[in-house]
Amino acid sequence: MRSACAACAASCPHDALSADEDGLYLEPADCTGCGACLAACPRQAISLDSLDAIVIEPSGGSPVAALICPRRAVGYGPCLQSLGLESLSRLWLGGVRRIVTLTAGCADCPDGRSLAVADRVADLNDLLADRGLPLLRVEPAQSVAKSVPKLMARAADHAGRRAFLGLGAASAEADGPSESALSRLQSLPAGPDARAAFAPRIDPRICTGCDACVRICPEGALTLIKDESGIMVYRTSPTKCTSCGLCMDVCGADAIRIDRQAPRVPDLRLTGYRCRGCGVEVHSPAGGPWDGGEAGGGLCPICAATSHHKRLFQVLP
């Protein structure tokens, strides 16, 4: 199943990307390589060439990521548009607590005028604050020591500068092949009310208990398990959620939404019953309209939808 997500197209300040039911289209002539799509993509499915940041290792302090606007010095670091939650999390996990920027004037730039990096940094800092972790600061070079731009210039000529998205081989190996940096950061010790960037929420008032969302979630953010007391529940793990939206796309009852900057919701308890039509053991949220098959007169949602006169099988990827 293809996701209805079009975050990349919606974020493009030049309309170089467009999306419809047939797919995603890029108009290369309109693309400036600003990286807004990279920051917006929930699955990190987009990459851009030459996205470099210069990481300076000051003596006696944390590494500083120094970004030089490509319009200020052609061939250097990425536009701030490309700094999404994933790349910011990767920098933080690499030890960076401060990002120093040398820009060409974002307000007047056709790429930077829709800049949202301040909002992304604020979101990341909310996650860090909930976990009692040091915050990340982004400062223009003019607001810090005069030596910083010189350090940036020297680092730009240094052959050993690190890759922006990788922050060196050691960091890439530590991340592992599949777990995102944002997921790793959110998995750090935190209290029960700590927020997550994306938190799936199932509405028990309309959920039919079909399990489609559980089956399709590529990250395991939604699972069907037995809790500590042996009761079957839907459990959400928001630290794993990327907000790809597949769960919402597949839900025929529109029972799922993804909250942003929200804590994990409690387990959703399920009750089981046997459909009097097809004889299959099914389950649905306790206390909801489908509890015990009540909404369908003892029928499962599929038999109820087909008046129990057809043989219908639900096929999911």
Residues in the chain: 317
Q: For the purposes of burial, counting CB atoms within 10 Å of the CB of 311, is it exposed (0-12), middle (13-18) or buried (19 or more)?
A: exposed
Number of structural domains (the chain) is: 2
Q: Is residue 120 a part of any domain in this protein? A: yes
Q: Is residue 271 a part of any domain in this protein? A: yes
Note the pLDDT of residue 3: 67
Note the pLDDT of residue 196: 96
Separation between Cα atoms, residue 37 and residue 187, nearest integer Å: 26
Do 131 and 53 lie in a common domain?
yes
From 123, 151, 186, give the residue that closes a domain: 186
Query: Positive or negative CA dihedral for 260, 264, 266, 271?
Result: positive
Note the pLDDT of residue 178: 63
Do 249 and 230 lie in a common domain?
yes
Q: Is residue 23 a part of any domain in this protein? A: no
Q: Is residue 8 a part of any domain in this protein? A: no
Query: Positive or negative CA dihedral for 28, 108, 65, 12?
Result: negative
Q: Is residue 147 a part of any domain in this protein? A: yes
Do 264 and 290 lie in a common domain?
yes
- With vertex at residue 170, the alpha carbon angle to CA 167 and CA 174, rounded to the nearest 5 degrees, is 100
CATH number of the domain at 297, please: 3.30.70.20
Do 59 and 168 lie in a common domain?
yes
Note the pLDDT of residue 53: 52
Residues of the chain with pLDDT under 50: 50-51, 147, 155, 158-177, 315, 317
Return phi, psi of residue 136, to 5°. Answer: -105, 130
Q: Which amino acid is at 142?
A: Q
Do 83 and 216 lie in a common domain?
no
Expressed as residue numbers, the domain containing 110 is 35-186
Note the pLDDT of residue 166: 34
Note the pLDDT of residue 245: 92
Do 63 and 165 lie in a common domain?
yes
**What are the strands, taking DSSP E only, across 189-231?**
195-202, 222-226
* Residue tagged 């079909």 (tokens): 210
- With vertex at residue 227, the alpha carbon angle to CA 222 and CA 283, rounded to the nearest 5 degrees, is 65
